[in-house]
């Protein structure tokens, strides 16, 4: 009877620390080696740097296109740009001129 009580007391006192250790181990493992853990941080930072580079390229392209749009506004259209676009689309020129197609930027 005395042994049974001591075994029961031992297990009842050991259950809470065992569960706590298991929970801490579980979350500690995923905090370091998990999909979003500390070891994955380098990969995420590299992907973020690539995304920032793409954002810079797209922003530059957006600024260039915005400038071209401003040059084509009604009433203040740039004649050189209008002629360039017409020649590019129509591949036509004055008599004696040769139109050479170029790649779009």
Kindly state whether residue 102 falls inside one of the protein's structural domains.
no
Residue 55 lies in a domain: yes
Residue range(s) defining the domain that contains residue 18 = 1-33
Q: How many folded domains does the chain comprise?
A: 2
Instruction: Identify which of 62, 64, 81 has the alpha carbon closest to the alpha carbon of residue 73.
Output: 81
pLDDT given for residue 104 in this prediction: 66
Residue 95: predicted pLDDT: 72
pTM passes above 0.75: no
pLDDT digits 0-9 by tens, 51-100: 999 999 999 999 999 988 888 888 878 888 887 787 777 766 667 777 67
Does some domain include residue 99? Answer: no
Task: Report residue 92 CA to chain centroid gap.
Answer: 43
Rg (Cα) of the chain, in Å, rounded?
35
């Amino acid at each position: 009877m005395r042994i049974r009580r001591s075994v029961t007391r031992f297990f009842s006192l050991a259950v809470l620390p065992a569960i706590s250790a298991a929970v801490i181990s579980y979350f500690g493992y995923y905090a370091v080696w998990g999909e979003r853990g500390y070891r994955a941080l380098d990969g995420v930072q590299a992907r973020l740097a690539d995304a920032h580079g793409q954002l810079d390229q797209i922003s530059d392209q957006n600024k260039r296109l915005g400038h071209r749009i401003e040059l084509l506004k009604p009433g203040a259209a740039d004649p050189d740009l209008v002629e360039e676009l017409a020649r590019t689309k129509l591949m036509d020129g004055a008599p004696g001129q040769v139109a050479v197609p170029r790649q779009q930027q």
